[in-house]
């Protein structure tokens, strides 16, 4: 059983794309809650939720691709 290196690299690219979003999402959500309190502005909160959701989705896709590269049954 061999590891498909191209798929492994592709999965790692997804994980590397998700990592900055994992850091940025909670920061934007915190800024969003402070903006609601001071200015009644929901833009930062919505952006933070979208970024955090996309980080989770990219992370799951990356993990699935990496596991398929390791445990390929072809």
Q: How far is Cα 31 from Cα 53, in angstroms, rounded to an integer?
A: 17
Per-residue pLDDT tens digits for 42-64: 999 999 999 999 999 999 999 99
Confidence label for 1 from pLDDT (cuts 50, 70 and 90): low
pLDDT at 4: 86
pLDDT at 63: 97
Per-residue pLDDT tens digits for 2-40: 888 999 999 999 999 999 999 999 999 999 999 999 998
Query: Residue 10: CB partners within 8 Å, gap ≥ 6?
Result: 65, 69
């Amino acid at each position: 059983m061999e590891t498909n290196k191209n798929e492994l690299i592709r999965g790692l690219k997804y994980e590397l794309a998700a990592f900055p979003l994992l850091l940025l999402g909670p920061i934007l959500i915190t800024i969003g809650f402070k903006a609601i309190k001071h200015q009644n502005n929901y833009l930062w909160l919505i952006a933070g939720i979208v970024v955090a959701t996309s980080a989770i989705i990219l992370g799951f896709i990356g993990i699935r691709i990496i596991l398929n590269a390791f445990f390929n049954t072809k």
